[in-house]
């Protein structure tokens, strides 16, 4: 009986967390550091999210980006093929979805000649 209650609570908890947090994958279009927004292209649509000073920018391996790497990412412009692959993780705060983490996919290595 106790196991069923604990299992039920766990299922409800996981369901609630799923409603609060969202994960969106796409190609980076731009980051506006003044307005604190990040725009990504998801399939054919562009989606803009708000971030704040608590937002973490991390590499594909999970390491937090240093200031120089963040600056390069902020200055990056989307090419004809699209920008860097990113995963934006948001959390509902009041009426807004706030970005809590941006995972930047690993870049392609250049062939050594």
Domains in the chain, CATH or no CATH each:
22-104 (2.40.50.320)
pLDDT of residue 89: 92
- Mean pLDDT by runs of 10 across the 113 residues of the chain is 68 53 88 89 91 90 84 63 82 86 76 49
pLDDT of residue 78: 47
CB atoms within 10 A of CB 99: 21
pLDDT of residue 18: 46
Task: State which H helix or E strand residue 98 sits in.
Answer: strand 96-104
């Amino acid at each position: 009986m106790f196991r069923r209650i604990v299992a039920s609570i766990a299922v409800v908890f996981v369901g609630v967390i799923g409603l609060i947090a969202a994960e969106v994958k796409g190609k980076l279009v731009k980051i506006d550091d003044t307005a604190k927004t990040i725009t990504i292209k998801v399939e054919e649509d562009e989606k803009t999210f708000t971030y704040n000073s608590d937002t973490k920018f991390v590499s594909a391996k999970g390491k937090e980006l240093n200031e120089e790497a963040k600056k390069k990412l902020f200055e990056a412009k989307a090419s004809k093929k699209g920008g860097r692959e990113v995963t934006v993780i948001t959390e509902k705060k009041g009426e807004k979805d706030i970005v809590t983490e941006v995972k930047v996919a690993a870049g392609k290595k250049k062939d050594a000649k």
